[in-house]
Amino acid sequence: MGLIWLGLAAVALWALVRLGRQTERARRGHWRISATILSAACLGGAVLAASRGAWLAAAGLGAAGVWLAVQSRIRPTAPKPQNAEPMSEAEARAILGVSADADAQTIHAAWRRLMARAHPDQGGTEGLAARVNAARDRLLKG
């Protein structure tokens, strides 16, 4: 019986370590956390079933636990940009809201002001932040 509790404790420790390594935003990470907890429960059930001699149930629970653990670690790939055309200088100036005679310091100030709102961590979107960055790059390297 002590071996069962040792196995369950090891699975619980593994689940806590996995949960501690989750670094995604809360909205996207719920599935990963739930899958990790369910995976740990399946693996613990597999250990318990194997200790009682129910090998078929242990194999099924173990396979389900491993599958959930692997699937919860797969991260979606970033979508490819839809607009592959280079940005015009007029469009870049319109996005940043700077005049045609703006110097590098003014461009950087406008970029910082917009990124404070457009950054995904501040409530913006990745696409909007990418466009603001592209506008800055176009004007500075332009």
Query: Which residues have C-beta within 8 Å of that of residue 60, sequence separation ≥ 6?
Result: 46
pLDDT at 18: 65
pLDDT tens for 26-48 read 555 566 777 788 788 888 888 98
pLDDT at 35: 75
pLDDT at 67: 82
Distance of CA 101 to CAs 17, 89, 132, 139, Å? 54, 12, 19, 11
pLDDT at 45: 87
pLDDT at 11: 74
Distance of CA 108 to CAs 29, 88, 111, Å? 34, 18, 5
Delineate the domains of the chain, giving CATH numbers in brackets.
2-73 (no CATH), 89-141 (1.10.287.110)
Mean pLDDT per 10-residue interval, the chain, length 142 residues? 70 66 55 77 87 88 84 66 74 91 92 89 86 91 72
pLDDT at 38: 78
Cβ–Cβ < 8 Å for 54, 7: no
